[in-house]
């Protein structure tokens, strides 16, 4: 598998594993403390975050508020900066399914996620930075 194929697999796996709620498997795709900027969606200041804390926050958020999620990657482009660093740009659509007092809703968030990945000495690619920029969102009721 080429470096670009491995990098694409890392990014798509992170989206799929969130939907499958495979939290323990997510840790292997990140450096110890990735830089995370998701201020446009959750208001938290950008910071380096221990990967366990990042994944635990996803687990709590998805488990508390949403009965299911679907993370779609609409476009994915990899640019190799050198043999050990790569930048990935994605266009995403995340659908979060909410149940509230008997009603069901889909909250859809669209935007971009820019990633930086580094190649470890073991030869695997890991996410060292994630920057999410929301472009729009919508909430729609789901039929019973």
Backbone angles phi, psi at 44, to 5 degrees: -75, 145
Q: For residues 116 and 128, is the Cβ–Cβ distance under 8 A?
A: yes
The span from the first CA to the last CA of the chain, in angstroms, equals 45
Q: Give the CATH number of the domain where residue 38 resides.
A: 3.10.450.50
| Cβ 112 vs Cβ 132: under 8 Å | yes
Domain that holds residue 131: 3-141
pLDDT tens for residues 24-78? 999 999 999 999 999 988 888 999 999 999 999 999 988 888 999 999 999 999 9
CB 123 within 8 A of CB 83: no
Indicate the number of domains in the chain.
1
Predicted TM-score of the model (pTM): 0.93
- pLDDT above 70 as % of the chain: 99
């Amino acid at each position: 598998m080429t470096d670009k194929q491995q990098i694409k697999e890392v990014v798509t796996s992170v989206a799929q594993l969130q939907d499958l709620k495979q939290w323990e498997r997510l840790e292997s795709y990140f450096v110890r403390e990735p830089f995370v900027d998701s201020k446009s969606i959750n208001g938290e200041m950008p910071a380096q975050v221990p990967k366990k804390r990042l994944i635990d926050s996803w687990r709590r958020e998805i488990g508390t508020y949403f009965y299911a999620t679907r993370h779609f990657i609409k476009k994915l482009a990899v640019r190799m900066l050198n043999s050990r660093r790569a930048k990935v740009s994605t266009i995403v659509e995340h659908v979060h399914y909410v149940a509230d007092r008997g009603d069901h809703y889909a909250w859809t968030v669209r935007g971009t996620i820019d990633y930086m990945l580094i190649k470890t000495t073991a030869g695997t690619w890991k996410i060292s930075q994630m920057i999410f920029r929301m472009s729009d969102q919508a909430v729609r009721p789901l039929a019973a």
